[in-house]
Amino acid sequence: MADVNLRGVKKQFGALSVIKGVDLDVKDGEFCVFVGPSGCGKSTLLRMIAGLEEITSGALSIGGKDMTSVGPSERGVAMVFQSYALYPHMTVAENIGFGLKMTGHDKALIAERTAMAAKMLQLEPLLLRKPGQLSGGQRQRVAIGRAIVRNPEVFLFDEPLSNLDAALRVQMRSELSKLHQDLKATMIYVTHDQVEAMTMADNIVVLSAGRIEQVGSPLELYHRPNNLFVAGFIGSPK
Ligand code: ADP
Ligand code: MG
């Protein structure tokens, strides 16, 4: 079980208060989407869940376990970034397996997990290519493959599709929804794209200036926004 629970979570960068007290419960297996204007703290919140950024105060637990002194690699989470920085000199297969290799997993396990991820992401014919020989969408799939092989209970996505063109975004959206169904993992997904939020989310978290304005299903937010700010962020329901 990999619920993600935040209680009174705050983040300061020096004098700058970026996250101002967030309480949030993401259920095991939920697809939760964070939306909000640029600079409101979406990435910071995600990075704190990943363990890439320390929490200034408050509590975070994953799967019921307090994460205060748990390092990023022991949290059972994997993050997929917007700029997916693949290693240009390595093949697709090597890129996908690299994290596992670094953490000392044996070759057989790496090969098995890489094959599974490649199948899931339709990368099988491309495993021996280098990133320079891939399209943007294929590169983003490799980045997702890197996360899948780690077998995480929680996936964290930070605007993973924002570098892709509109048609590819639509395709990747349904691929990610399918992936969510197949893996049954908890997914927390940051986007500034309302359509992505409305079509992919079980629950949407609307953030503004380091606080949660509202949490609810796409339909709840559409029909009963708490305020004009939330209404402004919500497009049409699925
Ligand atoms: P979002 O992802 O919603 O666009 P971020 O979480 O990246 O927002 O940033 C929230 C705020 O925190 C911004 O004002 C940003 O400049 C600031 N910030 C983020 N990271 C740092 C950092 N390492 N040091 C100082 N300020 C930061
Ligand atoms: Mg961001």
Q: E strands within 2-152?
A: 4-13, 16-26, 31-35, 57-62, 65-66, 77-80
Closest ligand to Cα 205: 1
- For residue 179, give Cα distances in angstroms to 11, 43, 57, 88: 32, 22, 34, 26
* Residues whose Cβ atom is located within 5 A of ion ligand 2: 43
- Does this model's pTM top 0.95? My answer is no
The first and second tokens of residue 19, run together, are 């996250």
Distance 39 CA to ligand 2 centre (A): 7
Supply the residue whose CA is at minimum distance from atom 13 of ligand 1.
39
Pocket test for ligand 1, best of 10, 12, 13, 52 (most atoms within 8 A of CB): 13
For the CA of 38, the closest atom of ligand 1 is: 4
For ligand 1, say whether the CB of 54 is within 6 Å of any of its atoms: no
Helices (H) and strands (E) in the chain, counts: 8, 10
CB 235, CB 221: distance < 8 Å: no
Distance 55 CA to ligand 2 centre (A): 17
Residue 186 binned pLDDT confidence (cut-offs 50, 70, 90)? very high
Distance 22 CA to ligand 1 centre (A): 16
For ligand 1, say whether the CB of 203 is within 6 Å of any of its atoms: no
The model's pLDDT over 190-236, given as tens digits with 9 standing for 90+, comes to 998 888 999 999 999 999 999 999 999 999 999 999 999 999 888 65
Q: What is the ipTM of this complex?
A: 0.98
CB atoms within 10 A of CB 210: 20
Of 161 and 16, the structure prediction assigns the larger pLDDT to 16
Residue 119 has pLDDT above 60, yes or no: yes
Residue 2 binned pLDDT confidence (cut-offs 50, 70, 90)? very high
The model's pLDDT over 11-48, given as tens digits with 9 standing for 90+, comes to 999 999 999 999 999 999 999 999 999 999 999 999 99
Amino acid at residue number 142: V
The first and second tokens of residue 136, run together, are 């943007």
For the CA of 37, the closest atom of ligand 1 is: 3
Distance 93 CA to ligand 1 centre (A): 33
CB atoms within 10 A of CB 44: 16
**28-32, 56-60, 101-105: least confident range:** 101-105
Residue with tokens 């200036």: 209
Whole-number average pLDDT of the chain: 93
For ligand 1, say whether the CB of 19 is within 6 Å of any of its atoms: no
Closest ligand to Cα 12: 1
Q: How far apart are CA 12 and CA 10, in angstroms?
A: 7
Supply the residue whose CA is at minimum distance from atom 26 of ligand 1.
13
Closest ligand to Cα 158: 2
